[in-house]
Structure 1
Amino acid sequence: MPRHPRARTARQALIATAALSALSAFAQEARTTPDPLQQVVVTGTRRADRTLGESESPVDVIGGAELRRAGSNELATVLAQLLPSLNFPRPSLTDASDAVRPAQLRGLSPDQTLVLVDGKRRHSGSVVNINGSAGRGSAPVDLNASPLAAIDHIEVLRDGAAAQYGSDAIAGVINIVLKKGAAGGSVEAQFGQTDRGDGGNEAGSASLGTALGDAGWVRLAVEAKHQAHTNRAGVDTRDAATEPRKGQVNNRLGDPDSSQQAAVLNAQLDLPGGTQAYAFGTLSQRNTTSAAFWRTQATAKANGVATLYPEGFLPLEDSRTTDAALVAGLRGQAAAWQWDVSVNHGENRFDIDVDNTANYSLGANSPRHFDAGGLRNGETLLNTDLSRELDLGLAAPATLSLGGELREERYEVVAGAPDSYQSGGASGFPGFQPSNAGTFKRHNASLYAGLEAQVTKAFSASAALRAEHYSDFGSATAAKLSGRYVASPALSFRGTLSTGFRAPSLAQQHFATTSTNLINGQLVDAGTFPVDSAAAIALGATPLKAEKSRNASLGVQFTPIKDWKTTVDVYQIDIDHRILLSGNLSLPTALRTTLANQGVFVSAGRYFTNALDTRTRGVDIVSTLHQEWGAAGRSDFTVAFNDNRNTIRGVDANPAVLTANNLTLIDRVTLARATVSTPESKLVLSVDHQLGDWSGRLATTRYSSYAVRQADPTLDQVFNPAWLLDVSLGWSHGAWSANAGVDNLTNRYPDRVIAGNSVGGILQYSSFSPFGFNGRTYYGKLAYRW
C-alpha cells in the first residue's frame, strides 16, 4: 500500500468502516428505532414519496437534534463539524469577510453551492470576498443568517443540480427545512468561551407554534446571540526599537465581536377548494466589529496624525448586515396536476463604518469615525411548479414535472461620506467612492422539465432539462440523468451525469472598491475594478460569461442489516470558464500613470475573469451503525470521509498588456487558492451513546494538510494534518434538557505562520485553517421543550 498521508487517511476510513461491520455481528434482532433510510427527502427530486434510501444522488440529512447538540450556534460551523465535504475557515484581517464568512463544499467556490429554504431559492449576500482568504471573489449566501431554532432539519445534496434548480448548483445544494405545524415549542439558552478566557458567547432562542382555527398554523422562532472577539495575534516587531508599545500585542487576529438578532415566521392555511396558502419570512441583523492592521507610531507621525494617536492606532471596521426574505405562495391540485405558484423576495444589506482611524490627508483635523458606505443585493422570483403522475406501464407511475421562473436581480454600491474616500480615504478601509457607486439590474427567465420513473422493480431513473436566458449575458442550458439499480435488498448502485452552469453575479460584474491589502508582505492600496470599466479594460479585462460544468458520479449503497448502512460515492466535476478574481497586479509606473489619467490612484489592481478551467475529483464514504446494548443503552457509530482533489485543466492566455509589463493575470497564489489551499481529505469518526436520561458524544476529525503559496516561492508554507477531538454530555428528562461539552478538547492549533508571512509577527496563524485557531472551547446549553 502507498505511504502517502492521503492513502493512510483513506485506509483509516476503510478500517473504521470494517470495524462497524464487526460490531454489526452483535446487532440484536429486535429494533425499536426508526430506519433513517425511510425518511422522505425533498431535495433533488420532485416526487413527494422519495425516501433517503431510494435517492439516486447522495443526500445527507442532518436532524434538528444534531443541530441543537452541537457546541456552536453558527449554522456554517455546525455543518462543517458534521459534513466531511464542507469546510468553514474563519478568516481574520480580511475586511468584510470577517463579518460574512464563506463556507466551501467540495473545495469549490462558496457561490458554487446553491442554498434553498423549504425548497425555495435563497438570495445571495452583498459582500464580495476580495482579500486573501478562502472563497476569494465569491458573494455567497449568508448561511449564518438562519437561526438554528427555526430549523427542523437540513438536506445536503452532494451532486450537481443546475438542471433542477438553476444557477449556482455546481458543487451541490443545501436545503434548510423549517419547522412546521402548531404543536411543540422550545426555549433555550447557551453559554461558552475559549480556553484562553476570550470569545465568550451567549445565545437565547425560542420557538413556538399556534393553530389558525382548524385550517392552519403559524410558527415563530426568534434568536439573539453575542460573540466576543478572540485574539491570537503575536507581538508586533515592526520598528520595535522606537515604538512606545514595543513588546506588546497591538493587533487582533481571530473571531470578531458580533451580535445578531434573528426571527423566522412560517405559516400555512387551508383554503376552500383544496387550495393551500403558505408563507415564510426571515429577518436577521448582525453587528460586527473587526480590526485592520495596527498602524505604528512611526506611521502616525509620518502621516501627520500623531496628535490624534501618539502611540499608533488600530482601525476598527463596524459593519451591519441586514438580511430579509419573504416567500408567499398557493398550492393545490387541478385535475391530475399538482401545482405551486410562489413569489420570493430577498434582500441583503451591508453597511460599514470605520472607527479609531484617520484620513491622512486631513492630518490632525481628521475625524476618527467615517461612514464608508455599503452594499445591497436584492432578488425577486416568480415561480410556477407543476407535476403529475403518468401511467407509462412501468413498475410504478412516473412523475412528470414542469415549471417556469422569472427572476429579477438588483445590486447596488452605496458611496461613503466624502471624508471616508477622498485623497486615500480612511486608513484601514477607504470608503466606497462615487465612481464605485451605482445600481445595476438584470432579469432572467427559465423553463424546466423533469421525469422520474420506477422503470422496473429494481431500476429507477430520472431526467431533467433546464433552459435560462439572462438579460445581461445570454442563455444557458443544463441537463441531468440519474439512475439507481437494486441488485439485492442489501446492495444497490446509483449514478448521475449532468451539465450545469453558474451565471456571473451582478456583484462580480459591477463591484468596485479601493482598499488597503496585504500584498507580498506589504500594505498597499489596491483597486478592484468592474470588467467593463476603463481601468479594467486598460489592464486587459473582457466581459464575463457563465461558468459551464460537467458532473459525473457513481455510488454504491450497502445495507447488510437494517441498522448498518454504508454509501460510497465517487465523483468528477469539470468547470470551464471558472469565474474568479485575478491575482493582485502590482502596477509598474506606466500602468499607474494610465490609471491616474482616469482618476484612479492605486498601487495594485485586480478584476474578475473567466480565465481558469478546473477539475474536481473525489470520493465520499459514509457508514453508520445503530447498536442496541439492552440495559446498557444504545449507540450510533459513524464513519464519514471525503477525499477531494482540485486540479487545473487550463489557463487562458495572459492579456498582452500584462505580459508587456511583466504581470500575470492568474498568478501562482490564485492557482493555489483554487487547488491546494483546502485540505484534500477530511475524516470524521463519531459515537453517540444513550442510556436512560443521559447521552454522550465523542467525535474526532482529521484534516489533511493544505498549502498557502505566495508570490515569492520561498515563502510558501504547507500546514500539517491535524486531529481534533470534541466531547459532550447530555441529560434529558421530561421537558427539560441540558448539554455541556468541549470542542477541540486537546487544544489543537494549526501550525504557526512562518516569519516571512507574519507581518512583523502579527499573523501567528493562517486564515486558511479549516478549523480556525481559537483552541479549546467550552459550552453549556439548557432547554425547555413542550
Structure 2
Amino acid sequence: MRRNSNRKSRAGQAATGFRRTMLSAAVLAITCNGAAWAQSAAAPAQASDAAAANGAQPAAVQSATSRAATKQAAATGTVQQDTVVVTGTRTSTKASQSLTPVDVISGAQLQATGQSNLRDALVKLSSSITRETYAGDTAQLTDALSLHGLTPDHVLVLVNGKRRHTTANIALDGGLNQGSTGVDIDMIPVGLIDHVEILRDGASAQYGSDAIAGVINIILKTSSHGGSLQTSNGQTYAGDGFKNGESANIGLNLGDKGYLDLAAEYDRQNHTVRTGPDDYFGTFQPGHGYYNPIEGDPASTRESVGFNAGYYLGDDVELYGFGTYAHRNAEAYQNYRPPAVLPEVYPNGFVPTETVNENDYSVTSGIKGQNLFGWSWDLSSTYGGDHEGIGMDNSANTGLYAAQGYTPTSFHLATVSNTQLTNNFDLSRAFHLPLLPAPVNVSVGVEQRRETYTVGAGDEASYLDGGSQALPGLAPVSASDNSRNVLGTYIDLSTHLAPKWTVDLAGRFEHYSDVGDTTNGKISTRYDFTPQIAVRGSVSTGFRAPSLAEEYYSNVNESPASVSGLLAANSAAAKLIGAQPLKPEESTNYNLGLVLTPAKDLHLAIDAYQIDIRNRIVEGGTASGAAAIAAMEAAGLSVPGSIPASAVSASYFTNGASTRTRGIDLSGTWHTSFGGYGQVDWDLGINLNTTSVTQVANGANGQPELNAQQIAWLSTATPKNKIIIGGNWHLDKWGVSLHETRFGSTSSEETYIVGPNAFSTTQFIHFENAARYTTDLEVRYDVTKRFQIAVGANNLFDVYPTKLPYAAQLEGAQYDAFASTIGEDGGFYYLRARYTF
C-alpha cells in the first residue's frame, strides 16, 4: 500500500483554451523579501477612552497611522514596527506593544515573493509557517498551511476580522494534514490584501473553535484611489511547471464618503513530474520501469475577484462590506496502470487523471458606529461556501468491462460542498475606575453560526463492480446532507494595572448542536521595564470542534495492490469496528516572551510556547480482512474482487491521541544606512519546534489507534527548526533581495517492500530527511516611477529533498513528500512587471 492511498489528487480539470491577460507584458516573477516581524520594545500605549467595537474589525477602521505604515512598508519592502494591529486584542494597538506575538506582513511583500498563491508566499515570509509538499488525492488541490507544526484545522483564518469558511475538500491521504478541512486562503486575490496579521498564540477564548495554534487575519485594502497591474511568468529549472499570473486592483472614491477596492486575478500552473521509474511490480532493475507521473504538482487554472467597501452615513456610523469569488479547474495525475489492466481499451496502459471543478465564495455586510448608548458597536453577517465537483478522466471500470464488455473512460465521482452563515454583534466601551491609571476596556459580543456539509454521489458507472480505476465514485448510500448550529458569547476586559503593566482577560462560551458545550478562558499580560525592554506572557485554554466532514464523510481508496475504506465516524458501519461519536479537541496554551529594542531601528523578540492538545482527532480504528470488508459493505462501499482480503482495510476518525508541542520563536529587524551606497533592511526569523505524542488511545480491539507511521506524521513530519535570514538593499532605482532559508530535518516511518513485488509483505523503516538550505534572490529596477521590472530565482541552487531508499520508492516516488517541506520541484526562475497608477 502506498502511504495509505493511491496518491490520487482530486485536483480539477485544467481549463484548456482559456487564457485571459490583464497586462500587455508577459513577464516572470518570484522573490522572497524575507520574514516580516512586528515585535519591538516600546512604552505601552495609553488605553483609548473609546475602545474599538471588535478587536477583529473591518479594515475601514484602521487608523491613519496604520495606513501610513503600510504605505511606507510597500515602498521599502519592509514591515514597520508601528503598524496598528487588531488581532489578538479587542482594542487597536501597535504591533510593537502587543501583549501576544503578532507578525505583520504587508501586501507588497506578499506580491514581491512572486508566488502564485498566498499560502506559499506566507511560507516564504514566516518561519512559523510550513506546508505539506504533497498532500495527495484531492487535498493536493487545497492550499492549506501549518502553524507551529500543527494541522491546518488548528489555524483560524479571519478576513477583516470575520471568520472565513473552510474548504469542503477533506484531506484523505496520510500525513500531518490527514482529516483536515482547513481554509484555502488562495481563493482570496492577493492584490486586494493590505496586510496579514499572524497571531502566534492560542485564541479560542477570543475567537472560538480552531484557534489552537493561532490566528491569521487577512486585512483588505481601504484605498479610495490608485491601483496596480502586475504580470508574472516563470518555470522550474527542469523545464516544466510553467506558471503565469495576472492581477489588477483599483481603489475608487464613493462620493468622498467612502471607498471601493476591487481586485481580479488569473493564475495558471502546469504539471510538474518528479516521479522516478515505477518498479512497483518488481520486474525491473533500479532506474528502469514504467513512466509514472503521479509525484509532482497538479495543473490548475484559477480566476478570482474580490471587493472591499465602506460608506460613512455620518460622523460615527459606517456601512461596510467585502467579498470574494474564485473558480478553479485542476487535474492531478494518478498511478500508472500497465497494459495488462485493460489491454482492450488501453493497449499501452493508462494514467488516470483526477479532476476538480470548484467554486468558492464569501460575502460580508455590516454596519457599525461609535455611540450606541455610549458603546461602540458592530453588527455583521457573513455567508460563504465551497462547492467541488470531483471527476476522473482517462480511467476505466474494469469490473464493469468484464461484466458488460463496456466501460466509460471519464467519470463523475462525487460532489462535496459546505456553507457557513455567521452573524455577529459586538459592543465595546471604556470605563474609568478609581485607582487605575487607565480606563478598563470592556468588550462583549454574541455569535450565531450555521454550518452545512453535503456529499453527493457519483454516476453509477463510477462505483458499480469495483468502480473507476484510481478512485471509485461515491455510491448513493454515502451521500448525506448535514448541518449544525453554533451559538457563542464572549467577554474581554483589558486595562493597565500600573503605568507599565497591561493585563487582558477573555472568556468565551459556545454551544454546538452536535457536540455540546465548551467554555474557555485566556489571560495575557505585558510589563515594560524600560522603552527598550518588555516581557509578555499568556495562559489560555482552547478547543476545536470536529468538522462535519470528519463526522460524515466516507469513501474508498484503491491502489493497484490494496483497498482502504474510510467510514463516517458516526455511522452504523463504523460502529461495527468500534467507532464512537467524536468529541471536541481541547488544548492548554502557554506563551512567555521578551521584547527588546537595544538600539534605534533594531527590534528583537523571543517567545517560548507550549501547546497541549487532548482528544486529538486522527484516522484510526483500522480493521482489515473480513471485518473490514463487512464494515465497508454495510456502508455501501464497493470492494473490488481482484484485491485479496488481506489487502483490504477500513478505518474512521477518532479522538485517538494527545500531543505536546513546544517551541521558541525569535524574530528581528534592523534598518541600516550606508549613505551613498543605499540602505539595507535586515530580517531574521527562527522557529524551533517539536511535537511529541504523549498518549495513544486503544481501539475496540484493544490495539493502539495509531501505528508508528501515523505517530511520525503527527510528531516529526514538520521541521524541528526553520530559519530565515537575509535583507533587502535599495538605492535609487535599484533593489536587491537575498534570503537564505534553512529547513530543519524531518523523519517518518516509511513503508518498505519485503519481497519481489507489490503484493509481498511490507514493514516500516525509519527515514530521515536531512536539513536543507534554499536561497532566494531577486533584482528589481524602477524603469519609471510607476513601472518596475524584476528578475530572480527561488531555490537558486536547485536543492532537492533527500531521496528515499530504492525499496521504499513505491510506484516510483523518489521523495517522502509528506515530510520533505522544501518541495520537490527544485529551482524556479522568473520575471515580473508591475505598473502602479
With normalisation by structure 2, the TM-score equals 0.86
Q: Percent identity between the aligned chains?
A: 35
Rounded to whole Å, the distance in 1 between the matches of 2:413 and 2:210 is: 30
Provide structure 1 residue ranges, at least 5 long, that are not aligned to the other structure.
1-16, 21-31
In structure 1, the residue matched to 2:710 is: 670
Taking the TM superposition and a 5 Å limit, the aligned residue runs for 1:451-462 are 451-462=493-504
Taking the TM superposition and a 5 Å limit, the aligned residue runs for 1:718-737 are 718-732=768-782, 733-737=784-788
2:135 is aligned with 1:100: no
In structure 2, the residue matched to 1:39 is: 83
State the shift of 1:664 in Å: 4.2
State the shift of 1:181 in Å: 2.4
In structure 2, the residue matched to 1:625 is: 670
CA contact under 8 A between 1:622 and 1:640: conserved in structure 2? yes
Rounded to whole Å, the distance in 1 between the matches of 2:614 and 2:732 is: 54
State the shift of 1:609 in Å: 0.6
Please report the RMSD computed on the Cα atoms of aligned residues, expressed in angstroms.
Answer: 2.0
Q: C-alpha deviations, 1:447-506, integer Å up to 9, x for none?
A: 100011122221111010000001111000110000000011110000000001111111
1:480 counterpart (490, 502, 522)? 522
CA contact under 8 A between 1:89 and 1:767: conserved in structure 2? yes
State the shift of 1:270 in Å: 1.2
1:694 counterpart (711, 729, 734)? 734
Q: C-alpha deviations, 1:327-371, integer Å up to 9, x for none?
A: 000001223211000000010111111000001112141000001
1:60 counterpart (103, 116, 120)? 103
2:348 counterpart (296, 311, 316)? 311
State the shift of 1:597 in Å: 5.7
1:708 counterpart (719, 734, 748)? 748
State the shift of 1:765 in Å: 5.0
2:162 counterpart (113, 116, 120)? 120
Taking the TM superposition and a 5 Å limit, the aligned residue runs for 1:301-340 are 305-333=342-370, 334-340=372-378
CA contact under 8 A between 1:69 and 1:739: conserved in structure 2? no
State the shift of 1:249 in Å: 2.4
Aligned amino acid, residue 824 of structure 2: F
CA contact under 8 A between 2:232 and 2:830: conserved in structure 1? yes
1:514 counterpart (541, 547, 556)? 556
Rounded to whole Å, the distance in 2 between the matches of 1:707 and 1:344 is: 41
Distance 1:458 1:597, change over 3 A: closer
Rounded to whole Å, the distance in 2 between the matches of 1:762 and 1:241 is: 16
2:477 is aligned with 1:435: yes
State the shift of 1:273 in Å: 6.7
Distance 1:468 1:714, change over 3 A: closer
Q: C-alpha deviations, 1:31-62, integer Å up to 9, x for none?
A: x99992221101111113x1011100001100
SS of 2:477's equivalent? coil
In structure 2, the residue matched to 1:774 is: 825
2:695 is aligned with 1:650: yes
Rounded to whole Å, the distance in 1 between the matches of 2:377 and 2:146 is: 34
SS of 1:526's equivalent? strand
In structure 2, the residue matched to 1:80 is: 123
CA contact under 8 A between 1:336 and 1:389: conserved in structure 2? no
Distance 1:247 1:593, change over 3 A: closer
1:535 counterpart (563, 573, 576)? 573
Q: C-alpha deviations, 1:296-333, integer Å up to 9, x for none?
A: 122x1xxxx31110011100011122110000000012
In structure 2, the residue matched to 1:23 is: none
CA contact under 8 A between 1:644 and 1:681: conserved in structure 2? yes
State the shift of 1:591 in Å: 4.4
Distance 1:600 1:287, change over 3 A: closer
State the shift of 1:213 in Å: 1.1
Distance 1:194 1:509, change over 3 A: same
CA contact under 8 A between 1:240 and 1:246: conserved in structure 2? no
Q: After superposing the two structures, state which structure 1 stretch, 212-221 or 460-469, moved more.
A: 212-221
In structure 2, the residue matched to 1:12 is: none
In structure 2, the residue matched to 1:6 is: none
In structure 2, the residue matched to 1:218 is: 260
In structure 2, the residue matched to 1:569 is: 607
Taking the TM superposition and a 5 Å limit, the aligned residue runs for 1:132-531 are 132-239=174-281, 247=289, 249-272=291-314, 274-298=316-340, 300=341, 305-333=342-370, 334-363=372-401, 364-393=405-434, 394-517=436-559, 523-531=561-569
State the shift of 1:97 in Å: 1.1
Rounded to whole Å, the distance in 1 between the matches of 2:125 and 2:229 is: 24
CA contact under 8 A between 1:91 and 1:101: conserved in structure 2? no
In structure 1, the residue matched to 2:756 is: none
Distance 1:101 1:215, change over 3 A: closer
Distance 1:391 1:332, change over 3 A: same
In structure 2, the residue matched to 1:10 is: none
Pick 1 or 2: higher relative contact order, CA cutoff 8 A, min separation 6.
2
Rounded to whole Å, the distance in 1 between the matches of 2:598 and 2:533 is: 8
Rounded to whole Å, the distance in 2 between the matches of 1:114 and 1:594 is: 35
1:681 counterpart (699, 702, 721)? 721
CA contact under 8 A between 1:73 and 1:148: conserved in structure 2? no
Rounded to whole Å, the distance in 1 between the matches of 2:635 and 2:423 is: 41
CA contact under 8 A between 2:553 and 2:568: conserved in structure 1? yes
Q: C-alpha deviations, 1:632-682, integer Å up to 9, x for none?
A: 111011121001110122122332xx34xxx64221111111101111111
Aligned amino acid, residue 39 of structure 1: T
CA contact under 8 A between 1:91 and 1:133: conserved in structure 2? no
State the shift of 1:398 in Å: 2.2
CA contact under 8 A between 1:729 and 1:741: conserved in structure 2? yes
Distance 1:258 1:693, change over 3 A: same
Taking the TM superposition and a 5 Å limit, the aligned residue runs for 1:570-609 are 570-582=608-620, 585=622, 587-593=624-630, 595-596=632-633, 599-602=636-639, 603-609=648-654
CA contact under 8 A between 1:556 and 1:567: conserved in structure 2? yes
Provide structure 2 residue ranges, at least 5 long, that are not aligned to the other structure.
1-36, 41-74, 640-647, 752-761
SS of 1:36's equivalent? coil
Aligned amino acid, residue 59 of structure 1: V
With normalisation by structure 1, the TM-score equals 0.91
